[in-house]
A and B are shown apart, each in its own frame.
Chain A
Amino acid sequence: MANNISATIYRYLCELFDGRNYKYTKNDDELRLEIVMVGEDEPMRFYINVDEARSLVIFRSFLPFKFKEDKRIAGAIAVCNINYNVCDGLFNTDVRNGSTYFKLTTSYRDSIISKAVLEQMFELSCQMVDKYNDRLAAVNDGTLDPNDIG
């Protein structure tokens, strides 16, 4: 059974999505939610976890493609170029298999975090993934130089 703080944050997340009439799936035992949002081009699937053991709220979104083997270094250059110019959140790629994801975390250790934090995290995650998913796909296709991704 989740402690009160973790359970409250999980409830805030459910209320955030319920309030906007968003459809999502959830796991009350593991404090996990999954939601698909439609951006400008590709749909974006977000996995949200209230990690009670670490006191972390974690937003993750995996891109719907993997970098081809000959594009994995380019993909790694691209995510580095994105990350060096952002304040919060990051993209990363596993060069062993080309899997690429966005991650945004906030700790709530010894703290009381608000619904506004979760709303901001969700909005930023959507904006970042929507902005860069097609650009990262273009790097994979060879139609965008990873140094031009900004």
Chain B
Amino acid sequence: MATEQELKQAASLFKTLCDYLDENTWNYKKADDSLGVTFGTKGDDLPIPIIIRINPELMVLSIYATMPFEIPEDMRVPMVVAVTAATHCMVDGGFDYDVKSGKILFRITSTFRESIIGKKLIEYMLGCACVMTDEFNDKFYKMVQEKMSAGEMLDMIYKEA
């Protein structure tokens, strides 16, 4: 359970987040029961749904970018190779992958306990989420469509990394 101070700090960060999104004319929707927003953007090819959450108990700001497709059942185990390889290329953030459902999302987090978070940090995290998802979503999609082998997936990720 978050303390009053933690809730106050989380609310302040949520205001900073909304101010940043407003200033940059992002068209977002606030979550009813939590300190979160959702909106969408588009990369080079596929749409990129974005979820931003502020967790007042853990004092963590999280930005998620989801894939607009699920991995079909016959490719769910092989895709662990692609997901871990893509994450290995990153300094910050990584892909979360639910092997059971085939859902993939990019996650990047920053802890804000007793800290003052600037808008440029939010911009950086959002930028990472969009760029990394745009970089890999079409690759993941292609791997599934072409039923690539593990070797082919690794070649694709590391050759173009």
Contacts and interface: CB of A to CB of B under 8 A. Distances in A.
Interface of B: 55, 58-60, 62, 77, 80-81, 83-85, 87-88, 91-94, 96-100, 107, 109-121, 124-125, 150, 154
A90 B58 contact: no
B115 A77 contact: no
B85 A95 contact: yes
Contacts, number: 115
A86 B120 CA distance: 25
- Interface core residue of A51, A94, A111 (most chain B CB under 10 Å): A111
16 contacts: A55-B124, A73-B80, A83-B94, A84-B96, A90-B107, A92-B88, A94-B88, A105-B110, A106-B109, A107-B92, A107-B121, A108-B121, A110-B120, A110-B121, A117-B111, A120-B59
A54 B85 contact: no
B80 A76 contact: yes
A31 interface: no
A116 interface: yes
Contacts of B121: 107-111
B60 A107 contact: no
B interface secondary structure, majority: mixed
Contacts of B116: 111-112
Given A76-B80, A95-B150, A116-B113, A84 B98 contact: yes
